[in-house]
Amino acid sequence: MSAVLRQSGAWPARIAVFAYPLAFILFPLAAFLAYSFFWTEHGTMSYALTLGNYQRFFTDPVFLPVLWQTCVLCFEVAILTILAGYPVAYFLAGLKGRKRYVLLMLMLVPLLMSYVIKIYAIRSILGGNGVLNRTLIWLGVIDDPLTFFVFNLNAVLLTLTVLLIPFAVLPIFLSLERIPRNLIDASADLGASAAQTFLRVILPLSLPGVVTALTFVFVLAIGDFLTPQMVGGQSGFTFGRIIYSQFGTAFNWPFGAALSVILAIMVIGAIAIGTVFGRDRSAGR
Amino acid sequence: MIRDSKTPYWLVGITGLVFILLYGPIFVPIASSFFALKQGVVDWQQPTASAYVTLVSNEGILVALRNTLVVGGAAVVCSLILGIASALYVNSGRSKDRALLQFIIFLPFLMPPIITGLALLIYFREIEFDRSLVTVIIGHTVFVLALVYRTLLVRLQSLSRSLVEASYDLGASGWQTFRYVLLPNLTSAMIGAGILAFALSFDETMITLLVTGTDNTLPIRLWAMMRLGFTPDINALVAVILAFTTLLCLLAARYLMPRES
């Protein structure tokens, strides 16, 4: 088999390996891109090319503000996960031997747990009658349930942050781990205090990891529609949720496709920016 | 980077807090699944296993469970076959089409799942392929292929080239080399990647939600139930699924972790 595969001119082998990815990855994406230039009216599809969907996106007063709001939200999520994740990554990178890999594994295990279950669990904590409000009332901190985190954009922000922290820890940990020990020793030998060593040596060298983390979290947050659907309530509208509704209640597939293309462009843009500023050959995947 | 000066307490504190944030929430449904629910409030005085009993007798959930296992199994088999073929092909030389193949395989992992799901949804409608468990299997295979391919490629690249050359020198055919030299060396990576792929498929929700017809998988069923509220049988189901996923993770880690020498 590998002898066949060795010769790059072997067409049967090439067709065999390309068939599935072409048929079920590239063609669907192409169909999807094409769809964004079609239009639909009262349930009938028209395959005449139009820029109408994009025009609607840019002129309708609803969509641009929601996109902007979603970007801000996802950026805030990214910042929060980094604020929480950096100290953890720093702590893990400072551990020795087995302990740090066990802890790192424990940090990553929640990623393999069902996404829906995690959202559901956080939802049971955040609700008006949820665990958090009950505990606060029981402790006597507050008299009436707090509402600022109950099924609105703040709830989406908190939930996404908790869900995505591991994605921030991993790249930062990898970049911290790669800092040569002797650089830190040299800094100490030259009389720098621990704080100076951190600010002048460790922090700058770990920035590529931070940028990668920022990109990861942003991209994952902006494409999510389950979280806002579940904890966003009436007011917590995000771009992903609007796209999803085009394929459900609104039933306008071409427009939904156009919105998704815009989402894809945002994601590609974020990854491109992340790659340029996070030049760190192997952090992340 | 390894420090030897002692770690400040606040750093330990923040790390502990983050772990509580990550693990704390999932214990709420697990703990409350063992207690009775009265007017939407968990009665901590009344331990009961009744939620688990109702769960086993719930037809819909059992069907969803069977669907999930079928989809997971099929997606693992498909992605392993495709993953191994693509990894062998990409590893066998350098060319533009190899880079292109790798790029296409990685696309569904780079793009948000909503885009992969919607693209498949539109595509299936256009080629008039009815949505069923088959479309779900295709969607899951697309999603986990990147991971399986990557794991197998890394393992292939770590094998010495001379292994294959020696095999050819000793007169083995291409197939024999694959069967008796490469495959045994790939087994643990295949098992690890397979388990991981199964775990991902088991929990996959966003793509499934878009490409499924009337068939439910467990996460979809769960999603539908959750929108109605907080009930003991959801909690019991959550506890069972979490126990299962944790088991899968431990298994995958056993096969994929580098052996300590």
Residues of B with Cβ-Cβ distance to A175 under 8 angstroms: none
Q: Choose between A282 and B43: higher pLDDT.
A: B43
Higher pLDDT, B90 or A41: B90
What residues in A contact B136, CB-CB < 8 Å?
A: none
Q: Which of A207-211, A250-254, A278-282 has the lowest mean pLDDT?
A: A278-282
Model confidence at A195: pLDDT above 50: yes
| Chain A CB within 8 Å of residue B255 CB | no
**Does A254 contact chain B (CB < 8 Å)?**
no
CATH 1.10.3720.10 fits B59-256, yes or no: yes
> Domain A49-113+163-277: what homologous superfamily?
MetI-like (1.10.3720.10)
3-state secondary structure chain A: CHHHHHCCCCHHHHHHHHHHHHHHHHHHHHHHHHHCCCEEECCEEECCCCCHHHHHHHHCCCHHHHHHHHHHHHHHHHHHHHHHHHHHHHHHHHCCHHHHHHHHHHHHHHHHCCHHHHHHHHHHHHCCCCHHHHHHHHHCCCCCCCCCCCCCHHHHHHHHHHHHHHHHHHHHHHHHHCCCHHHHHHHHHCCCCHHHHHHHHHHHHHHHHHHHHHHHHHHHHHCCCHHHHHHCCCCCCCHHHHHHHHHCCCCCHHHHHHHHHHHHHHHHHHHHHHHHHCCCCCCCC
| B142 contacts on A by Cβ (under 8 Å) | 24-25
Listed range (B2-6, B28-32, B229-233) with the worst mean pLDDT: B2-6
Domain residue ranges in chain A: 49-113+163-277
State percent of chain B over pLDDT 70: 92
Query: Cβ B246–A226 below 8 Å, yes or no?
Result: no
Average pLDDT over residues A255-268: 92
Interface ipTM: 0.82
Q: What is the pLDDT of residues B233-243, one digit of tens each?
A: 888 888 888 88
pLDDT at A10: 67
pLDDT at residue number A84: 95
The interface residues of chain A toward chain B in range 105-144, judged by CB-CB distance below 8 A, are: 105-107, 109-110, 112-118, 120-125, 129, 131
CB-based contact, B212 to chain A, within 8 Å: no
Best residue in A116, A169, A189 for a mutation probing chain B (most B CBs within 10 Å): A116
Residue to substitute from A22, A25, A86, A162, interface B, most B β-carbons within 10 A: A25
Domain boundaries, chain B: 9-52, 59-256
pLDDT score recorded for residue A215: 93
Q: Which residues contact B19 (CB under 8 A, 6 or more apart)?
A: A106, A107
Q: Is the pLDDT of residue A6 over 60?
A: no
Question: Chain B partners of A20 at a C-beta cutoff of 8 Å?
Answer: 82, 141, 145
Average pLDDT score over residue span A152-169: 92
Cross-chain Cβ contact A247/B121 below 8 Å: yes
Please tell me which of A66-70, B87-91, B160-164 the model is most confident about, judged by mean pLDDT. A66-70
Check A4 against B113: CB less than 8 A apart.
no
Nearest Cα residue in chain A from B100: A18
Q: How far off is chain A from B2, nearest CA to CA, in Å?
A: 5
What is the pLDDT, as a whole number, of residue A8? 45
pLDDT for B259: 57
pLDDT band at B185 (very low <50, low <70, confident <90, very high): confident
Say yes or no: A20 contacts chain B, CB-CB below 8 A: yes
What is the structure's pLDDT at B261? 41
A256 contacts on B by Cβ (under 8 Å): 118
Position B5 scores a pLDDT of: 58
Q: Band the pLDDT of B6: cuts 50, 70, 90.
A: low
pTM (2 d.p.): 0.85
Q: Is B214 on the interface with A (CB under 8 A)?
A: no
Of A155-164, B185-194, B247-256, least confident by mean pLDDT is B247-256
The answer to whether B89 faces chain A, any CB pair under 8 Å, is yes
**A260/B contact by beta carbon, under 8 A:** yes
Q: Assess A179–B contact: CB distance below 8 Å, yes or no.
A: yes
Looking at residue B260, the DSSP 8-state letter turns out to be: P
From the list A5, A27, A256, the residue facing B88 with the nearest CB is A5
Confidence tier at A69 by pLDDT (50, 70, 90): very high
Which pLDDT tens digit goes with each residue over B150-159?
A: 999 998 888 8
Overall average pLDDT of the A198-204 stretch: 89
Q: Give me chain A's average pLDDT, please.
A: 85
